[in-house]
Structure formats: structure tokens, C-alpha cells
Amino acid sequence: MIHVSDLLIILVSLGLLNISIVILFMINKKEKNMNTLNKAKKGIVDLESITKNIERDYKPANVELTSYEQEQEQNAIISYEELLKKKDNSHVTYDADYDAGIEGISVKKIDTDNASNKKEQEVPNEFHISLMNYEKEEAFLKALRQLQENLAR
């Protein structure tokens, strides 16, 4: 027969066993968290060293521009103020009396008499500028309208 004292010893030993199992689980969980933190710290250290190496050793490559790219860089408008300055340098003048009367399309006739005289005076001798005559411009616009109609079908 089991006495009360034997039963008490069994219950106490089971309780101690449960407490020791819970403590072992907590220790194991804490070790996993510490491993994760250590790995993260090592990763941060690796990222820091990589970043420092890049900052120390990085040398940008020299880009060689072609003459066309250099010209584009010189003529580029990079601010609103530059745009306002360059708009006054526009030498194209339009004939104010001309009205094409085409629905939905604004067609302007270039005043070639005044524009060409003004252009030739200011452009260096190495360039020759020729404006499209009125008939060619009209033919071009007709071709564009025809293309638009064909694409709409």
C-alpha cells in the first residue's frame, strides 16, 4: 500500500521534474535568441566593413564624351532660368497674317524673309541654315494628316 509520505515524495519529484524541464526550455530559447543576435551583429559588422571598403576604394570611372555629346552638354537647358534666357534667342518668326483654317491643327507659316536675314547674321560661317519652303511644309503636313487617318482606321 502507498502511504501519504510516498505519495508526497512522488508529487514533489514530479514537480521538480516539471520545473527543471521548463527551465531547460527557457535556457534553450534564450540561447537561440542570443545566437540570432550574435549573427545579426556579425552581419552588421560585415556590412560596416564592406561599406567602409567601398567608400575607401571607390573611384568613379572617367566618361569620355563624343563631340556630339559634348555639344549636347553645352547646349542643354538644366534650369528654368536658363530656359527663360534661351527663349529670347529663338530666331524663328511666323507670318501673323497667315491662317490655314484647318480644324484642330494649328499651322503657322514661317516668315522666311525676316528669319533668314536675322539667322545668317548671327550664325558663324561654318553652318548654313536653310528653311523649308512653304510648299514642302504643306506637303509634309498633308502626309502627316494622311498617316493619322490611316492609323485611325
What is the H or E stretch that residue 46 is in?
helix 4-57
- State the DSSP code for 60: P
For 116, other C-beta atoms within 10 Å of its C-beta total: 16
* Assigned C-alpha cell, 95: 507670318
Q: What is the pLDDT of residue 26?
A: 92
Distance CA 93, CA 111 (A): 6
Annotated domain spans of the chain:
1-59, 91-152
Cβ atoms of residues 90 and 122 within 8 Å: no
| pLDDT number for residue 120 | 46
What does the alpha-carbon distance between residue 21 and residue 14 come to, in Å, rounded to a whole number? 11
* pTM for the model: 0.26
pLDDT 10s digits, 85-124: 777 666 667 776 666 666 767 677 777 666 544 444 454 5
DSSP one-letter code for 110: B
Q: Report pLDDT for 58.
A: 80
- What is the residue-wise DSSP string for 23-43? HHHHHHHHHHHHHHHHHHHHH
Note the pLDDT of residue 9: 92
pLDDT < 50 stretches in the chain = 116-121, 123
